[in-house]
Amino acid sequence: MAIGENIRRFRDEGGYTQQQLAVIIGVKASYISALERGQRRPGKKILPLLCDALGVDEWDILFGTCEMCDGRLSPEKKALLDAIEGLPKDVVRALTQFIMKLKDSVKKLDNLLHLNLPISLRCTRGTHLAPLEDGYGRTRQRGKRLQM
């Protein structure tokens, strides 16, 4: 679920209008509207205020709750949840911010290259970051082209 959908869901569950929530956290109602439509993302100053007002964790705002996903978590997401379980809140917050920045960087790179390839395929043709087998039992060395 997208961040905006999560914010809208938690706002509705809390019984707030966009205007009421905006007054509580000290922003304009148009900002809340833009968040819910996915046109804006909450900044690091607004996110904690938003979480306090809605009574949820940052993780819930950014990624939704387990109840919201109805058991549709991929193995990768389950592994991520298991990895952060038990970590202090400030560490989880720092990891979350890092992941969001990484996600934005990948999105910008995709837009720049006009490609929708997985990260592992974003190498120049003929070079790879790790040794790979070519199907004939020959391996490529880091950053070197396969000798034909």
CATH number at residue 17: 1.10.260.40
61 and 39 share one domain: yes
8-36 residue pLDDT tens: 999 999 899 999 999 999 999 999 999 99
With respect to residue 134, please indicate whether it lies within any of the assigned structural domains.
no
Q: What per-residue confidence (pLDDT) applies to 21?
A: 93
Q: What per-residue confidence (pLDDT) applies to 137?
A: 52
- The whole-angstrom separation of Cα 13 and Cα 126 is 53
Which residue range forms the structural domain that includes residue 32? Answer: 3-69
User: Which string of b and e fits 114-142 if b means at least 16 CB within 10 Å?
Assistant: eeeeeeeeeeeeeebeeeeeeeeeeebee
Q: What per-residue confidence (pLDDT) applies to 124?
A: 45
Beta bridge partner(s), residue 8 = none
100 and 55 share one domain: no
62 and 19 share one domain: yes
Q: Which of 127, 129, 1, 112 is nearest to 56 (CA)?
A: 1
54 and 86 share one domain: no
Q: What per-residue confidence (pLDDT) applies to 1?
A: 57
